[in-house]
A and B are shown apart, each in its own frame.
Chain A
């Protein structure tokens, strides 16, 4: 016959293990659902099939590629090997300029066409996205 205290302790232990398992499960499951993959234009070119999931594309804004009218902004993201057309209607950050690094989040229409929902740039004008640096280094 176990006394009350031991029983209580066992219950406590059981509850904490159960809750930890539940939490780990929950976290992993929602991680799976909510991650956004980060690709460069070259990686998009090499995709076998286009995904319908939300992705991020990173690279440099190509020179003389920004076009703007009252509804939308069009521009080209390049990693100096491949490039992709981006269409976007929304606010762009301050450091969104031709020849500067940019990250666009949105949905891929096909391998050459990307519909952005968000455009991010970095705080620092010296910053170049790592993957762009890598592909520039290879050249």
Chain B
């Protein structure tokens, strides 16, 4: 209740801090930023308290909570809904504004202030949005006795931390965005700027990687489709900023080391942030025809759309006005250099980005102009992205082995060729072993193995420093490799079964032994016991569950997954009406666990980079 007032105070303080920047300059900006963060924190915590106490006089709590819900999900329910998640977003924004100001003491004062001004602009925009369309502190009178409950599919430990992690990633891009605009205006975009902003780019990239990973794992075991990526619009939207951020990570490194690519870095930071906001807009407005769609409100979408256009317009305007302040680079690029291979890979990343963008936005576009509803499926993305992964992977393996500026002596050449032959041999062996006959996939395997072996070679090198990059690249090769194996060699069977029924699957017999009912805190549980018999092996019992929630009335399936290092055995059951038949799906997915491991390795590279000391630039 009182938090509405606090939100207003934040709003006033932001305006005053805006003014202060002009008039009193930095005198007490630090305190103001802290106060703002403090107030945002206060309102966020009071919302959590409201959720814990199940105050149903609050509309957000009413719509998303329930007395019988476990405490953990009462707390996570705070950001499991639109209003609360926006408040979280705002909290992180104010925190980073404060944190940036603390950490940027070595930057020119006017650049810091400008960064904060842009940051304030973003905060203000979201604050208005929050107050106008989705105030989390709306009061309901008379007070209802019971809440409507949180969507049970969201009652999951992974999904409790997924949004905060993803938001940390998104919001950090706003700092990069503000800082690059400020640097642009002041003509400060140079290798020193790159050195300082690099940390922020890595923080953002790491969190975004982890956020996407968490979402994927959740989708894998909760949605029961047995996959982890569906090229669904909502997923694509989180991948797009990640791609442009990946390009930015590399670009910033080139800018730091070689003092080239100034404008490209600025453009990339603008693109990344815009894509992040764009994602929020598309998800929240409901114009996407996605399977992940949650109920939503068009007014909200409209507001974000305006805000988005305003920001794009502003940043493009600033870019064109101040573009001439950027240092021109007259340095010649040598083809056999690290920076050339990074630029080439940047192009590939931009290509992947545009394919995904077109695939995601085209259906909306078509619906607006011709009222036809379409969806773009996985074949589109697979077809356009997979072939281009081959040169991408090869550049990724050769690039780090080249030197900055110019590569004169090709001391590595022989080693690289040996590794290339080795990877051809191993991919042919793998293809033979798994009975794969497609040439394209064998070629892709070669490229994968090439990166795989080159990174391993780098690990074994003497006095070797670049752990972060090698780990991330190694992780990436492992990721592509395991996704490939996984998608080619997965096997599955679906059937409808009664108790006592059995089905044959390759050389196994799957038997539904019994069903069991139990009551849990806020749901009823139906456990199905499946026995999987395989010749010469001990029987495996899998116990998938069906959970029947009361508030709101929903059924969810919990898959039973048996993971080992070679494959996942995945079984999920579903209730179809109150029928004696159960809808059953059994899958064997090879190398599933390696997909998660490799994504963790990729982000580990980012973590190492955040804590790494800066090296000297080679100009």
The interface of chain A, by Cβ under 8 A from chain B, is: 5, 23, 26-27, 30-31, 33-39, 56, 66, 68-73, 89-98, 103, 120-127, 130-131
Contacts and interface: CB of A to CB of B under 8 A. Distances in A.
B151 A123 contact: yes
A94 B574 contact: yes
A131 B289 CA distance: 11
Contacts of B216: none
B358 interface: yes
A98 B151 CA distance: 19
Contact of A123 (B292, B358, B383, B574): B292
Interface in B487-504: 494-498, 501
Interface of B is mostly: mixed
Contacts of B574: 91-94, 96
B358 A31 contact: yes
A126 B153 CA distance: 13
A53 B603 CA distance: 41
Interface in B184-237: 223-225
B153 A94 contact: yes
Interface stretch (B272-280, B423-431, B444-452, B577-585): B577-585
Contacts of B332: 5
A34 B383 contact: yes
Contact of A92 (B291, B372, B498, B583): B583
B380 interface: yes
A38 B289 contact: yes
Contact of A35 (B151, B354, B374, B498): B374
Interface stretch (B4-12, B459-467, B550-558): B550-558
Contact of A98 (B289, B358, B501, B577): B577
Given A73-B576, A124-B294, A39 B585 contact: no
B414 interface: no
Interface string B276-303: 0000000000100101111100000000
Nearest to A129: B289
Contact of B576 (A31, A70, A92, A127): A92
A131 B579 CA distance: 30
Interface in B371-400: 372-377, 379-380, 383-384
Given A70-B495, A93-B224, A95-B554, A37 B576 contact: no
A36 B376 contact: yes
Contacts of A30: 380, 383-384
Contacts of A92: 574, 576, 583
Nearest to A71: B496
Contact of B375 (A36, A69, A121): A36
A43 to B, nearest CB: 9
Contacts of A93: 223-225, 574
Contact of A127 (B295, B359, B581, B585): B295
A-B pairs with lowest CB-CB distance, top 3:
A38-B373, A34-B380, A91-B585
Contact of B293 (A27, A66, A94, A127): A127
Contacts of A33: 379-380
Contacts of B359: 31
Nearest to A23: B351
B496 A70 contact: yes
A90 B358 contact: no
A2 to B, nearest CB: 16
Contact of A34 (B289, B291, B376, B498): B376
A37 B577 contact: no
A14 to B, nearest CB: 15
B573 to A, nearest CB: 9
Contacts of A71: 495-496
B556 to A, nearest CB: 5
A131 B583 contact: no
B267 interface: no
B322 interface: no
